[in-house]
Chain A
Amino acid sequence: MKMRKWMMVTAVAAMATSLAACGGNNNNTNGGNAAATNAPSESTAPAENNGGENTGADTAQITPEDGASLVVWESKEERAFADAIAKEFTEKYNVPVKIEELSPTDQVTKLSQDGPSGLAADVILIPHDNLGRAASAQLLLPNDVFEQETVKNNTEASITGASYDGMLYGYPRAAETYALYYNKSIVTDVPKTFDDVLAFSKTFTDKSKNRYGIMWEVGNMYFNYPFIASNGGYIFGDNGTNKDDIGINSDGAIQGLKEYVKLKEILPINSGDINADIKRSLFNSGDVAMDINGPWELAGYKTALGDNLGLAPLPTIGGKTAISFAGFKIFGVNAYTQYPNAAKLYAEFASGKDAQLKLNELVGSIPTNLEALEDPQIKDDAYISAFAEQAKNSQPMPSIPEMGNVWSPVNAALPEIWDKGADPKTAMDKAAQQIKDLNNGASQ
């Protein structure tokens, strides 16, 4: 996330040096991956009890190895949580933990380089769509000791996200998806459908004043998945595991994308000119009334808008409930760790119920732990519960390694449709063909 910080600095500098309104530029080449920045975590009983007591009857009880010490890769944004939980872990198990900052989206790449040489962290934190890449390269130890606890205590979707090829690898600690932020002082009736959005925006949008009813990253597949999925489209068939069944050009997807095309009327900007930083500054200043975005913006938006900030599930698309992408942040244990027991204990400890609530408190995140979700701390938070509501209508991003072949073709097709008015069917057929080529060896 270093890049993002730089871009924010740049954005501020740019605004200072020019009279015109101007935001930062955050061109996200890797698609939705980068969207995964904040998330809550969940945990199970080990937070309170000794790790050994919590393991299932048929698995061995584990205790940390003698002289164990751990290195954990954490995201910069969640450092406050990481420091706190590491301290608690050390107090409980007498195992020193060193936190190193590394963007979650970079962790699998770094693990694949440094893991086998023994230089990588013992516990890593990754967005679940990177799991397939790590697990198929056998870089992670399966979550076996705590499997039963993890499965029992977490939402089904998060377990799907933390599994690869029928095996549970991850320790889910937070969910994330996106929902509709709105400015209460401008939007009085929360739109229920995208037709409502269209109607409202026609009264508000004024391109010459840079005022828009709604804005979202129209070129990024991550945020536009609802248009593909809500009417029956999908990325990979069989719940995202069949690489040969590509559904981005299915009838349902095209139907949804026709709704997407209609929205160009109220957001007549090239996709490349919209980015997270610009959107943020416009939304904060009241020039954008609605924004489709994730929990990672919550803290900043709250500061900027105060009580005027509203959050609702996404409007329906073509009469169907909007289905968003769900991402999960999960802990993984490095297969080359010297201290597998200590590492597993840490992953379990730092993703338990109490840990997830702490993460929510310190950073703001959506738990995956079932008990944590019922906790008043989450239930009474209007924003978090709105995300949790949307999360119910979300699908986990496919985590098979071929997912890496999807982002660039689709992120190229969406601008074709949006900027140049290409026919959705033609553009998506082309993207689907490219994904097929990539899956089948053009890239081997």
Chain B
Amino acid sequence: MQRHHTRAATILSTLFMGLGQIYNRQFIKGFIFLIVEALSLTYFIEKLGRAFWGIVTLGTTSQHFEKVKGIAKLVKGDHSIFILIQSLITIIFFVLFLIAWYMNIRDAYKNGAARDAGQTPGTFKQSIRYILDYKFAQTFLILPSVGILLFTVMPIIFMVMLAFTNYSAPNHMPPAKLVDWVGFETFHNLVALKSWSHTFYGVLTWTIIWAILSTVTTYFGGMLVAMLISQQGVRFKGIWRAILIVPYAIPQMISLLLMRNLFNGQFGPINQYLKFFGLGGLPWLTDPFWAKVTVIVVNMWVGIPVSMLLIMGVLTTIPRDMYEAAEVDGATNYQKFRIITLPMVLFSTAPTLIAQFAGNINNFNAIFLLTGGSPVNGDYQYAGSTDLLVTWLYKLTLDQNKYNMASAIGIIIFLIVATFSIYNYRRTKSFQEEDMIQ
């Protein structure tokens, strides 16, 4: 009889939420749990079967038209994608319910054990007090957590699931056609089917090259400009700063589209000037190689101001006496830069640098507004020579409705960005606490 209350309360709560609490004489809490389970049951009896059916089959009847007195009427069928979302939501709620159920059992168990030990379980008031005093933060985090679950986690799961379906135009577009699970076929096509893989590897390679070059050029370009401006003896520093920040301040929507005109190979002013000075122009946007050069150069123009501001801020924090000491020791300007400035700046800005790198992998604006992925590439599937994975994804989604392929690419982009970020974060000294600068 030693553990009598514990076992009885646990079993009762397992059978029906709240029974164990009532058995433990915690009536209000028990009733709340009872109501929760009752409401949940009515919800799940109606929905859960359909949710599991839906997520397994993704619908079985497709829609069609029926003639009624010569007029076509729409007979609605299953819309695979709606079914997928609804099933997903139901299942998420079901998981939440299971968590609540588990907590209810644990609560019954603990209070039963307390009774076995000769204590009286707390009253409802005491429970509330306990929560307010000790579990306040956890309790009130439930609300945002549910929000995050529904608005962040759920769409991500949904996107990941799409990659394993054949949801694409023209043969599997709901509502007319059903969507089916195809497992890893989409990924397999992407890396193994020649027509897709050629584009994928080509675009992926360029994306990586682009991310590295665009980050490095803007960062060191910004550093150079910042150091030049903060040199002693440079006058009108404020004006320099203001002028250099202008490219960043103009919306890229305007400035990049403008650039696109400036770089026109035949009519653009840049080539016109080059010709005026007797130089042949360059095919800035029409040759695959030069188009890549152009996007990197223009991106420097847009990106350097950001790095410049950032690094200027850091430069002001470097103590002057370090330079003075170095001068006393007879250090040259280059040595001062290498030993003092560079490490200090790198240390403070490393996290931003990583963020910029990840951002450049997904730098939609620079490519989409400047070249739109052009010049066209006859060997690529729906992509041009300067398309990044993210602009390719955009074209696949909006122009071609290949949602499954776009999701697969989205997952791959996510994996790439996440891997780089985590690896870099872990290796960056700024995240490993003090004593970073030797």
Q: Which B-chain residue is minimally distant from A414 (CB atoms)?
A: B376
Q: Does B70 contact A (CB under 8 A)?
A: yes
Within 8 A of A (CB), among B45-89: 63-65, 69-72, 74, 79, 82
Known: A27-B372, A272-B285, A442-B381. A116 touches B79 (CB 8 A): yes
Are A137 and B283 interface neighbours, CB within 8 A? no
Q: Does B330 contact A (CB under 8 A)?
A: no
Are A412 and B377 interface neighbours, CB within 8 A? yes
Chain A residue contacts of B336, Cβ below 8 A = none
Known: A210-B266, A210-B267, A278-B264. A444 touches B171 (CB 8 A): yes
Are A412 and B376 interface neighbours, CB within 8 A? yes
Within 8 A of A (CB), among B388-402: 395, 398-402
Q: Does B254 contact A (CB under 8 A)?
A: yes
Instruction: Select the stretch in A140-148, A150-158, A178-186, A359-367 that faces chain B.
Output: A140-148
Assembly CA distance A438 to B177 (angstroms): 19
Q: Does B352 contact A (CB under 8 A)?
A: no
- The answer, among A13, A58, A116, A272, for a CB contact under 8 Å with B258, is A13
Chain A CB within 10 A, most for which of B174, B269, B402: B269
- The answer, among A7, A336, A409, for a CB contact under 8 Å with B378, is A409
Chain A residue contacts of B371, Cβ below 8 A = 27
Are A29 and B373 interface neighbours, CB within 8 A? yes
Are A22 and B262 interface neighbours, CB within 8 A? yes
Within 8 A of B (CB), among A93-120: 109, 112, 115-117
Q: Does A431 contact B (CB under 8 A)?
A: yes
Chain A CB within 10 A, most for which of B71, B254, B378, B382: B378
Are A144 and B261 interface neighbours, CB within 8 A? no
Q: List 27 A-B contacts (CB under 8 A).
A: A13-B254, A14-B258, A14-B269, A18-B262, A19-B269, A20-B269, A20-B272, A23-B264, A29-B374, A30-B399, A59-B70, A59-B71, A116-B79, A116-B82, A133-B169, A138-B65, A142-B65, A269-B265, A272-B286, A273-B266, A409-B378, A412-B380, A427-B378, A442-B193, A443-B381, A443-B400, A444-B172
Q: Does B351 contact A (CB under 8 A)?
A: no
Are B262 and A219 interface neighbours, CB within 8 A? no
- The answer, among B74, B177, B402, for a CB contact under 8 Å with A336, is B74
Instruction: Select the stretch in A314-322, A377-385, A400-408 that faces chain B.
Output: A400-408
Within 8 A of B (CB), among A1-15: 6-7, 9-11, 13-14
Assembly CA distance A273 to B286 (angstroms): 7
The interface of chain B, by Cβ under 8 A from chain A, is: 63-65, 69-72, 74, 79, 82, 166, 168-177, 189, 193, 195-196, 253-254, 257-258, 260-262, 264-269, 272-273, 275, 283, 285-286, 371-378, 380-382, 384, 395, 398-402, 405
For the complex of A and B, 4 pairs with smallest distance between CB atoms? A20-B272, A272-B286, A18-B269, A138-B176
Are B401 and A109 interface neighbours, CB within 8 A? yes
- The answer, among A14, A116, A137, A408, for a CB contact under 8 Å with B382, is A408
Assembly CA distance A7 to B79 (angstroms): 38
Are B265 and A413 interface neighbours, CB within 8 A? no
Q: Which A-chain residue is minimally distant from B72 (CB atoms)?
A: A142
Are B195 and A144 interface neighbours, CB within 8 A? no
Q: Which B-chain residue is minimally distant from A132 (CB atoms)?
A: B170
- The answer, among A138, A139, A141, A434, for a CB contact under 8 Å with B195, is A434
Nearest chain A CB to B186's CB is how many angstroms away? 9
Q: Does A423 contact B (CB under 8 A)?
A: no
Assembly CA distance A198 to B271 (angstroms): 27
- The answer, among B63, B72, B269, B275, for a CB contact under 8 Å with A144, is B72
Chain B residue contacts of A434, Cβ below 8 A = 195, 378, 381
Q: Does A271 contact B (CB under 8 A)?
A: yes
Interface residue SS majority, chain B: loop
- For A, the interface residue count at a CB cutoff of 8 angstroms equals 71
Nearest chain A CB to B400's CB is how many angstroms away? 7
Q: Does A80 contact B (CB under 8 A)?
A: no
Are B169 and A401 interface neighbours, CB within 8 A? yes
Within 8 A of B (CB), among A390-444: 401-402, 404, 408-409, 411-413, 415-416, 419, 427, 430-431, 434, 437-438, 442-444
Are B172 and A137 interface neighbours, CB within 8 A? no
Are B283 and A270 interface neighbours, CB within 8 A? yes
Are A278 and B374 interface neighbours, CB within 8 A? no
Chain B residue contacts of A23, Cβ below 8 A = 261, 264, 267
Nearest chain B CB to A444's CB is how many angstroms away? 6
Are A22 and B267 interface neighbours, CB within 8 A? yes
Q: Does A25 contact B (CB under 8 A)?
A: yes
Assembly CA distance A97 to B424 (angstroms): 57
Are A10 and B260 interface neighbours, CB within 8 A? yes
Q: Does A60 contact B (CB under 8 A)?
A: yes
Known: A14-B262, A416-B378. A20 touches B273 (CB 8 A): yes
Known: A116-B79, A401-B170. A273 touches B262 (CB 8 A): no
Chain A residue contacts of B268, Cβ below 8 A = 20, 22, 273
Q: Does A84 contact B (CB under 8 A)?
A: no
Chain B residue contacts of A116, Cβ below 8 A = 79, 82, 174-175
Assembly CA distance A393 to B171 (angstroms): 33
Q: Does A327 contact B (CB under 8 A)?
A: no
Are A408 and B376 interface neighbours, CB within 8 A? yes
Chain A residue contacts of B273, Cβ below 8 A = 20
Assembly CA distance A20 to B265 (angstroms): 13
Q: Does A199 contact B (CB under 8 A)?
A: no
Known: A19-B269, A270-B265, A270-B266. A60 touches B170 (CB 8 A): no
